[in-house]
Structure 1
Amino acid sequence: PNIIADSLKISCYNAGHDGQTIFYEQAIIRMALSRYTPKLVIVDLNPEEMYYRDIHYDRLNVLAPYYVDEPELRDIYLLKGIRDRNRSDGLLVHPSTEAAQNFWMTHDAFQEWILPINSEKIKMFSKIYQFNSSILDILAGIYKNRKSESGFKPLKGIITEQKAQELIRENAELRNQKGKVVDNNKVKGLEEMLSNLTSKGTKVFVTMSPALAPFTTEPSYETIVNVCKKYNVPFTDYSRDTRYDHLNYFFDNHMNKEGANLFSSHLASDIKKTFFTPTASILE
């Protein structure tokens, strides 16, 4: 953030959260826009986060402590109790299309029909439940105490060749999984973010960070590109940029401090070219 701030002459903060997805980013944007209008928002995405995964809904518990005081976040948090089922107003949740069409072969179909409710809405009546997910975060904050640079916590160290190859294989297996479905809730979340930000005059720059192996064109990737085109938002995939094709820039799947600093410098330069030169390309 500091490199970007110095280059663009604006204050900058990294509001990302490791392991989170578009839902968390959607919540952050809603909270920000309820208070002020930022000049620039950089949205960093990974194609895998756009697919439906139960664990992504489980991780919505990070928003639970804010459920009461931040009403604009409630419908995002309540997705935890809806997931891929069909939404309805209030407490009821209709069974998923899959459960309706193939009752006997769908996991948890019986529960969806017998208890067609959003259980998270009921649980939120408990003041204790809202903070169940906070204990580990609080302890980590106390004992880890890793210094933050405007929200960014740099990773120090260099990944080994063996570990890099292991992660590349794991990532390839993840990308090649069969039956992956782009999550409509996430697509709607991304569209809401870009629509709300651009309508308020905020400059938005969507990226994919450098990676150990470049992302490939797949349904989720194409979805991100198409949404960016729809809202005329610049998109750049840095995972295919050969300038970062060095293990010295990585700690694990994430870049280390040296790599992050290099990426931030290039990112700031590209943002300048995109928004402050009349011939800048909208989509790279």
Structure 2
Amino acid sequence: MSAAQTSAARTSARPAGLRRGAEALAATLPPLLADARHLAATVQLGQHGRRRSGMGDEFWQYRAAHAGDEARAIDWRRSGRADQQFVREKEWQAAQSVHLWVDDARSMEFTGDPKRQAKADRARLLALAVAVLLIRAGERVGLADGIAPPRSGEVQLLRLSEALTRAAGQADYGAPEVRAILPASRALFLSDFLGDIAPVEAALAIAADKGVTGVLVQVLDPVEEAFPFEGRTIFESMGGTLSHETRKAGDLRDRYRARLAERRARLMDLARKAGWLFTTHHTGDPAQGALLWLYAALRKDG
């Protein structure tokens, strides 16, 4: 084969080789991270300034100089156009830490329709997608259980993705982890919150004592909201430890909905007392709206 033929062969083989290499590289990335990046890309976000003075590079405002201001802080050009001196303030841009807790209990594996995401899958997707947006904005994101302490950068997204896709827990219902949460940080808890509410109350109390603010997201399947059951029905927890049989499931609907409303009201009250926000997200709804709301809530100034 001549040199020209060899060169042509290399050129023709290059696209195929490049594609194989790209596919091999993509295969090493966790599917959850790919889905989270795709979801984050569908959300259009504008610039979100913190509108507080402090360390940073972006100009915020001029203010009149006060006694005690250093001479180097004076903007002499602006002051030259007036009868007083002005200080050029910059917008506060210090990175904050955000901690994620995603319930990995068995109850989160429920879906009322095989074509619909399980609660756990939707919760993990929202958590990682909001991490993508926050890290892009310069924040540090980690897990509340200490497995992945808050950090920034693309490598941290891989750590979070791997941690969030680890094997599910064995408990029927989960309890928030708060031991590793840093003082004065922010947190996001995603769960169905259908188990014992006492651990949730205790976790929020500890977080509040640390000056932590955040968001509670109750993730529910539409079936859990509507309770469409009729006739003889056997209800079992996802872990199989709880079971209840009834011949008239429809008769339980009103009582069930009342209990669910009571639980939601209790969660809202706990969040309010701790200085947190609360919302409910259904797996039958698009994830984009929930992601945009969460991002805005977690970036809100305290």
Q: Which has the higher contact order (CA 8 A, sep 6+)?
A: 1
TM-score by structure 1 length? Answer: 0.20
Please identify the structure whose Cα radius of gyration is greater: 2
More helix by share: 1
